């Protein structure tokens, strides 16, 4: 199986011709749909590259078929790699050159003029790590995100999932209010268990600050003063705080996905993921939280699941998505009653456990009947 991982690198806007990239993106969309349109004023080399991708474009991580006509698709490209020892790998006429000897990224044709940018350390480290893991950075994509040019590097690795040991790592995706809980199971026992979250107090305080500033901005707007120096300053402050708010859960999601994938790898465990995010949303609705706060508490959870899956594939961790209920008794199947402190009890058979541990008991039950492994 081929596994992929992707890294986004922002390109300097002043060195790229954004309109030209837009034209190439439109051409890419046509290529996805099986049309070959040869445009006279665009170099043949880059068009050959584009149409050369037709057969294996779908295998690229970002290469999902655009949903609508004329939507802009990112331009796929091969990569020529120049390694530290001077050896080269890849297509010589590739538009993207990763020069690891001089730590430079060169892009030809796609940004119109040839551009050459220094490769930041974090990019060098990322490439080194992927190569050390037995992968190679073979493909790239260039496109616009919020009208800013970006280069996406895609590493590819041939990997075979390991044969699971007797460990199972269960990951139950919950809202950030209760965090993501995981449990390591062996021989029908929970060996270790943890709820991983964010600093909720800090998160709420930052959100309150955003709400407060937005109210202030709203008041200015009603007076027609939002375009003043004060108004614009306030607006940019709101934007920065919103980004910071979003970054808290995004960074945590990436951190946890990496931690859990590596844990599964270390124990050679089977990874079982319950991604019933809707159930968590319902729980928050039942607690009568405002929609804005619910949205906040659900942010980046899908990203977490996607990243966990990507990493599981990359490291060859066998994984499964399994529905593991937290409100149904794993012993007798009765509906559980929730007590204060999120303790769940079964009035039928007496089962009792913290709500976040119930999915782990379900996983034990399912392995006992060998349902998880099948
Ligand atoms: Zn029961």
Tokens for 24, please give them.
């190439």
330 Cα to the center of ligand 1, angstroms:
7
For residue 27, how many other CB atoms are within 10 A of its CB? Answer: 23
Scored b (16 or more CB within 10 A) or e, 132-151 reads eeebbbbbbbbbbeeeebbb
How does DSSP classify residue 328?
B
Q: Round to whole Å and give the CA distance between 353 and 374.
A: 27
Q: Tokens at residue 313, please?
A: 């594939």
What does DSSP assign to residue 184? Answer: E
Give pTM, 2 decimals.
Answer: 0.86
pLDDT for 62: 45
Measured in angstroms, how far is the CA atom of residue 370 from the centroid of ligand 1?
20
Integer Cα distance of 347 and 242 in angstroms: 45
Q: Phi, psi (5° rounding) for residue 120?
A: -65, 155
Between the CA of 345 and the centroid of ligand 1 the distance, in Å, is 8
Residue 59, pLDDT score: 42
CA distance 267 to 211: 44
Which residue ranges in the chain fall short of pLDDT 50?
Answer: 59-63
β partners of residue 150: 10, 143
Q: Distance, CA 276 to ligand 1 centroid (Å)? A: 22
pLDDT, tens only, 28-66: 888 877 778 888 888 888 888 877 776 555 544 344 555
Q: Report how far residue 236's alpha carbon sits from residue 74's, in angstroms, rounded to the nearest whole number.
A: 29
CB atoms inside a 10 Å sphere around CB 193: 15
DSSP single-letter state for residue 72: P
What's residue 236's pLDDT? 95
The reported pLDDT for the residue numbered 70 is 56
Ligand 1 centroid to residue 369 C-alpha, Å: 17
Tokens of 160: 């075979």
For residue range 294-333, what is the model confidence (pLDDT) as tens digits? 999 999 999 999 999 999 999 999 999 999 999 999 999 9
How many CB atoms lie under 10 A from the CB of residue 8?
11
């Amino acid at each position: 199986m081929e596994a992929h991982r992707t890294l986004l690198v922002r390109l300097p806007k002043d060195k790229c011709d954004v309109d030209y990239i837009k034209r190439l993106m439109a051409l890419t969309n046509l290529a996805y749909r099986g049309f070959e349109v040869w445009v006279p004023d665009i170099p043949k080399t880059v068009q050959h590259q584009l149409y050369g991708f037709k057969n294996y474009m779908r295998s690229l991580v970002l290469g999902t078929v655009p949903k609508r006509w004329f939507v802009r698709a990112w331009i796929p490209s091969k990569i020529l790699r120049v390694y530290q020892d001077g050896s080269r790998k890849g297509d010589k006429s590739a538009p993207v050159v990763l020069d690891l000897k001089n730590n430079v990224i060169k892009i030809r044709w796609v940004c119109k003029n040839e551009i050459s940018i220094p490769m930041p350390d974090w990019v060098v480290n990322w490439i080194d790590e992927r190569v050390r893991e037995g992968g190679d950075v073979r493909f790239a994509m260039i496109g616009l995100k919020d009208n800013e040019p970006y280069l996406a590097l895609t590493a590819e690795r041939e990997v075979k999932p390991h044969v699971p040991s007797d460990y199972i790592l269960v990951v139950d995706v919950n809202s950030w209010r209760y965090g993501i809980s995981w449990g390591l199971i062996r021989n029908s026992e929970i060996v270790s268990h943890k709820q991983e979250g964010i600093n909720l107090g800090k998160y709420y305080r930052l959100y309150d600050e955003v709400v407060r500033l937005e109210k202030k901005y709203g008041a200015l707007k009603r007076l027609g003063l939002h375009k003043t120096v004060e108004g614009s300053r306030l607006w940019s402050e709101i934007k920065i705080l919103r980004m910071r708010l979003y970054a808290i859960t995004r960074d945590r999601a990436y951190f946890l996905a990496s931690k859990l994938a590596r844990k599964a790898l270390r124990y050679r465990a089977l990874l079982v993921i319950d991604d019933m995010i809707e159930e968590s949303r319902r729980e928050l609705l039942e607690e009568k939280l405002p929609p804005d706060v619910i949205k906040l508490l659900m942010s980046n959870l899908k990203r977490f699941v996607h990243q966990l899956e990507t990493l599981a594939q990359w490291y060859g961790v066998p994984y499964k998505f399994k529905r593991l209920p937290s409100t149904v008794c794993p012993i007798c199947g009765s509906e559980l009653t929730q007590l204060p402190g999120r303790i769940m009890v079964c009035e039928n058979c007496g089962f009792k456990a913290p709500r976040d541990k119930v999915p782990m008991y379900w996983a034990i039950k399912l392995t006992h009947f060998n349902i998880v492994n099948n």
